[in-house]
Amino acid sequence: MPKWDAPFIISDDSIALRIDIDSIAAQVATSLQVENPLGVSANSAKAATVNFSPGFKENFPSQIQQIRDCLKQILESALKDSTSIEQFVGNLVTDRTSRIYC
């Protein structure tokens, strides 16, 4: 896969992670050369069915794995070796019982 723009932004205090889903979706679509299944009528369609191309069942799992691996590398790079993904995500999660709600 080609180099992606940074879809992950970690706050300076490392307590928040912003994920640019639109950027990820656009980059996946262009990187994997996904064609619009509706073709030229995409803007005027009110309903549609999608027929998957031959080989879809065989190729789809490996494409998902490629996307996962690429996003994992990007997030690891954003963390700058300060912590593992598991530790970082663990620090983002808070225990609901320890929060004070007003």
Give residue 101's pLDDT: 53
Is residue 19 within 8 Å of residue 8, measured between CB atoms? yes
Give residue 1's pLDDT: 45
Looking at every residue in the chain, the average pLDDT score rounds to 78
More confidently predicted of 65 and 56: 65
3-state DSSP assignment of residue 55: coil
pTM of the model: 0.63
**pLDDT tens readout for residues 26-52:** 888 777 666 666 666 666 667 767 777
